[in-house]
Amino acid sequence: MTTVGVGMVGYAFMGRAHSQAWRSVVPFFDPPVRPVMAALAGRTGNEVRAAADRLGWASAETDWKELLRRDDIGLIDICTPGDGHAEIAVAALDAGKHVLCEKPLANTVAEAEAMVAAAERAAARGVKSMVGFNYRRVPAVTLARKLVLEGRLGTIRHIRAQYLQDWLSDPRSPWTWRMDRDRAGSGALGDIGAHIIDTAQFITGDTVAGVSALTETFVPERPHPDGGTARVTVDDAALFIGRTRRGATAVFEATRFATGRKNSLRIEVNGSRGSLAFDLESLNELWFHDGTDDGETAGFRRILVTEPSHPYAGAWWPPGHVLGYEHTFTHEIADLLAAIADGTDPRPSFADGLQVQRVLAAVQDSAERGSGWAAVEGS
Ligand code: SOE
């Protein structure tokens, strides 16, 4: 059995989610290359050692560069804030390590381009890279894409996508790095807007070609955990309309101020033959309207996406025994390991991540110009 040693950088929310996935991928997916959770890297010695212990990593490092020097590590998993992605990913790929990098790929288009260049150099040597748009791996989302590709929706006319959270709606919620443009790149736009862009493009197989956007920062200053206040330099909400390369219209909304909505990624796609709808807060369900059904009984029907024939579902439990948020990360890692084993290029690639980054940049550009139309570079 071939193995690959994994070194992960960062152990906050995403680090915990990825650790859970690295621990569960072998028993459920029996991957052809088995991961060995070799080391966790973080800045503070006692904290990273405690986290490594708790999350299942065999050792801890206080400098991520040490992971690149170790021969027992062949894959780097980047779970840091956005400002660390480009430096770590480029160095890791140049050192011949496979890379899984959290989304959004980078904080700027220039960083993302450098990462794609490194990924291309590495690919020529058989080294793989992937960006972690985990919602592609919700079984219902993968099924939605399959239905579109099979032509069950016909020509796609409308995409309607929202990502609604409310964790910042209270102005007393403390400032974090996610509110700092230098560290996070942008606010709701890059954090959750990137997910709806990727999910919409993944499901439809189309890309956003141009946008008109509006962003808003409702609370420009927040209490700093160390005392005093700190300035919020990112958007709290981003709204934009767009047109796709193939001529569909799209409406997107990403906000952290939708009171009562916790983690609601909703998408509806309308085509000439039918429609589908999905909400992450009910992630085992896909709603499908087949416009070719008899008019009297036609309508949206709820598909419970837990059958063994459904994407990923067969690896888990019997039908109806629902899956959750964390499974998407296990699926992502299972696919990455399969690609490493069979020599194919895993998706979403760094090039896919760059394309999303270009949409984010177009949104920012349009919003800064009072919602003027902004073409997406390269589309
Ligand atoms: C925080 O808003 C966050 O955790 C995002 O960073 C994730 O990517 C998203 O999946 C859930 O919300």
Contacts (Cβ under 8 Å, ≥6 apart) of 64: 7, 9, 41, 76, 88
Domain boundary among 106, 134, 162: 134
Model confidence at 338: pLDDT above 90 = yes
Tell me, yes or no, whether 149 and 114 share the same domain: no
CATH number of the domain encompassing residue 218 = 3.30.360.10
CB of 13 sitting under 6 A from ligand 1: yes
Tell me, yes or no, whether 144 and 228 share the same domain: yes
Tell me, yes or no, whether 165 and 236 share the same domain: yes
Range of the domain at 236: 138-323+356-369
Q: In what order do the strands lie in the sheet with 75-78?
A: 59-61, 33-41, 2-9, 75-78, 98-102, 129-132
CB of 192 sitting under 6 A from ligand 1: yes
Show the CA angle centred on residue 376, arms to residues 156 and 139, nearest 5°. 45
pLDDT in tens, 189-218: 999 999 999 999 999 999 999 999 999 999
CB of 325 sitting under 6 A from ligand 1: no
pLDDT in tens, 59-90: 999 999 999 999 999 999 999 999 999 999 99
Tell me, yes or no, whether 124 and 204 share the same domain: no
Nearest Cα residue to atom 1 of ligand 1: 191
Mean pLDDT of 278-303: 97
Nearest Cα residue to atom 9 of ligand 1: 192
Query: Does residue 344 belong to any structural domain of this protein?
Result: no
Query: Does residue 55 belong to any structural domain of this protein?
Result: yes
**Which atom of ligand 1 is nearest to 135's Cα?**
10
Point out which residues pair with 276 in neighbouring strands.
269, 288
CATH number of the domain encompassing residue 78 = 3.40.50.720
Ligand 1 centre distance from Cα of residue 188 (Å): 9
Query: Does residue 345 belong to any structural domain of this protein?
Result: no
Rg (CA), the chain: 21
Distance CA 141, CA 305 (A): 10
Mean pLDDT of 325-341: 98
Model confidence at 8: pLDDT above 90 = yes
Tell me, yes or no, whether 77 and 116 share the same domain: yes
Distance CA 258, CA 74 (A): 41
The number of domains in the chain is 2
pLDDT in tens, 10-49: 999 999 999 999 999 999 999 999 999 999 999 999 999 9
Domain boundary among 134, 158, 175: 134
CB of 317 sitting under 6 A from ligand 1: no
Within a 10 A sphere around the Cβ of 304, how many other Cβ atoms?
Answer: 14
Query: Does residue 231 belong to any structural domain of this protein?
Result: yes
Query: Does residue 227 belong to any structural domain of this protein?
Result: yes
Domain boundary among 134, 157, 174: 134
Contacts (Cβ under 8 Å, ≥6 apart) of 45: 60, 62
pLDDT at 1: 76
Tell me, yes or no, whether 202 and 299 share the same domain: yes
Query: Does residue 256 belong to any structural domain of this protein?
Result: yes
Ligand 1 centre distance from Cα of residue 118 (Å): 26
Transcribe 50-81 into DSSP letters.
HHHHHHT-SEEESSHHHHHH-TT--EEEE-S-
DSSP SS3 for 328: helix
Tell me, yes or no, whether 170 and 303 share the same domain: yes
Tell me, yes or no, whether 171 and 247 share the same domain: yes
Ligand 1 centre distance from Cα of residue 114 (Å): 24
Within a 10 A sphere around the Cβ of 52, how many other Cβ atoms?
Answer: 22
**Which atom of ligand 1 is nearest to 165's Cα?**
2
Best of 197, 263, 280, 329 for a ligand 1 pocket test (most atoms within 8 Å of beta carbon):
263
pLDDT at 346: 98
Nearest Cα residue to atom 5 of ligand 1: 191
Model confidence at 379: pLDDT above 90 = no
